[in-house]
Structure 1
Amino acid sequence: MKAETSGGRAPSLADQIYARLKQDIFDFRLLPGDRITESHIAERMGASRTPVREALLRLQRESYVDVLFRNGWQVKPFDFRYFEELYDIRIVLECSAVDRLCQRTRDTATQTTLQQLKQQWSLPPTERTTGGPATCAMDEAFHGQLVAAAGNREMTRIHQDLTERLRIVRRLDFTQPARIDATYDEHSAILQTIEEGRAADARLHLQQHIASSRQAVRAITLHMLQDAHARNQNTTEHTAT
């Protein structure tokens, strides 16, 4: 994962540490509930504590870590209820965007967006992207473009924030080939119903699509957490012996 910077500037040491820690959290090398200290991270990263603290404060603002009073930091425990609530908000926003787009099917900008998305998603299986990370990025862009095309800038901003917060679990949906194929089919159906101005059907397809992803992500996340905890326990027992 590349560090995110503004204005095209080169990533600072704090940016690099932030990106590495975030990737460790995403890949379950740092497990939910793990306690970490600035001094330990600084030693591991070969840096002073100042950029480490900057990186941790940024991760705290994004709800990935919590600060412990006089006792370092903790990777935020995994809260499925929190993610379920984010998914609920996402459905509301995207259904609203779909409604708006169905009312604007003759609008040139809407037609352009739909055609661009159809070129990416309404494809036969032999022409589809099969890589998980690439499909995940495309999926995020698909939903983001639909919301942006609805024309409400504040809705777009909130949706972008939700996308960032859900990325830790949502990316797991693209680790299975069947889910990648399903995403193409479901996106294509959503686009077709929007293009035809069938708002009720478009909302239904969208809700079913997000519900399927949500269900798959929960199951995969639980499985990966169990595997990560088992590996961690085995490593601890091996070190002790």
Structure 2
Amino acid sequence: MTRATGKSEAVYERLKGDIESLRLRPGARLSEVQLGEELGASRTPVREAIRRLAREGLVDFVPGEVARVAAISLGGVRALFEFRMLLEPEAVASVAGAGAADGRVLLPFGELLERLGEFDESFRALDAAAQARSYQEFYDIAEGFDRAVIAACRNPYLARTIGDLRSQTVRLRHLSHSGPRRMLTSLEEHRAMLKAITQGDAQAAEAACRHHLAQTLQALIDSLTGHDLAIGANVQVDVVR
């Protein structure tokens, strides 16, 4: 594999961030020429970045057309969460078990639990407009939790596989939190996972993770089928069950 240049890495990070945050919508065309002009890069680093994103499942190549941001389909979301259900509960359980044997493993999770409590208190005091602007802080905490689980997981294959799915899960996070109510529910689900891990309770951590994934999947189904978000025709809704 060719080592990424500094420019291609910068283009890759920019495009990946725009796709994950939905600033680049599902189905959006990715023209190498146009992106190069917008990002101040030649076509080569843009092409390299698009190919990396395609390998991660964030970009599709349509025959006879330019690349497009990968669609989000209900069938694809279900398949992803079925896979996550096999992986992530096992990972958080193993982390809780490791923490019961070595308290140092639990330090980042205790810090995240404290941050979550502080955010919860401040968030509830905001009006609706200010709450909408503060979502990113919660996303940062959730991101920190995911990364801490991957770092503390004792099975390197399990950790690597979960890490490889992160681009997909981060993009869907913006769809699953379609309003303050769901965001607060997700906050409580993360609190339950963090508490179980910090208490070294592997069984409770596994159960809390399964519950969180099931609730997140349902929120995504509601968003995709009920059009809770203004996501337009670029999101492919596949309602075959």
TM class by shorter-chain length? 0.7 to 0.9
| Stretches of structure 2 lacking an aligned partner (at least 5 in a row) | 125-130, 235-241
Give the structure with higher Rg (CA): 1
Q: How many residues align?
A: 222
Give how far 1:139 is off. Answer: 0.4
Whose RCO is larger (CA < 8 A, sep 6+)?
2
Q: How does 1:96-111 map to 2 (within 5 A)?
A: 96-104=90-98, 105-111=100-106
Q: 1:227: Cα distance to partner? A: 4.5
- The correspondence for 2:48, drawn from 35, 40, 54, is 54
Give the aligned CA root-mean-square deviation in angstroms: 3.4
String of CA shifts for 1:88-143, please: whole Å, max 9, x gaps: 23232222123323434142223434422332234584245952122112102113
SS, match of residue 99 in structure 1: helix
Q: Corresponding residue for 2:239?
A: none
Alignment of 1:28-47 (within 5 A): 28=22, 30-45=24-39, 47=41
Deviation at 1:31, TM superposition (A): 4.0
Distance 1:195 1:43 in 2: 49
1:81 and 2:75 matched? yes
* Distance in structure 2 (CA, Å) of the matches to 1:111 and 1:24: 33
Match of 2:116 in 1: 121
**Shift of residue 60 of structure 1?**
1.4
SS of alignment partner, residue 200 of structure 1: helix
User: Are residues 155 and 203 of structure 1, via their aligned partners in 2, closer, same or farther at CA, if it must alter by over 3 Å?
Assistant: same
* TM-score between both structures, scaled by the size of structure 2: 0.73
How do 1:5-24 residues align onto structure 2 when only pairs under 5 Å count? 11-12=6-7, 14-24=8-18
Structure 1 counterpart of 2:115, one-letter code: Q
Provide the rounded CA distance (Å) in 2 between the counterparts of 1:31 and 1:117. Answer: 31
For residues 59-107 of structure 1, what are the alpha-carbon distances to aligned partners after superposition, in whole Å with 9 as ceiling and x for unaligned? 2122222224443323323233223222223232222123323434142
Partner amino acid, structure 2, of 1:185: E
**1:165 aligned partner:** 168
Q: Given that residues 58 and 167 in structure 2 are in contact (C-alpha distance below 8 angstroms), is that contact kept between their aligned partners in structure 1?
A: no
> Do 1:186 and 1:205's aligned partners in 2 also have CA atoms closer than 8 Å?
yes
Contact kept in structure 2, 1:36 and 1:72, CA below 8 Å? yes
**Relative to structure 1, is the Cα distance of residues 216 and 40 closer, same or farther in structure 2, using a 3 angstrom cutoff?**
same
Letter in 2 for 1:60: A
Distance (whole Å) between structure 1 residues aligned to residue 15 and residue 146 of structure 2 = 27
Matching residue of 2:209: 206
| 8 Å contact from structure 1 (residues 56, 65) kept in 2 | yes
Q: Which residue of 1 aligns with 2:232?
A: 228
Query: Deviation digits for residues 24-67 of structure 1, max 9, x if unmatched?
Result: 54455654344444334445555432232222212212222222
Q: Identity of counterpart residues, as a percentage? A: 29
Structure 2: which amino acid aligns with 1:86?
Answer: L
TM-score, normalization: structure 1?
0.73
Runs of at least 5 residues in structure 1 that lack an aligned partner in the other structure: 231-241
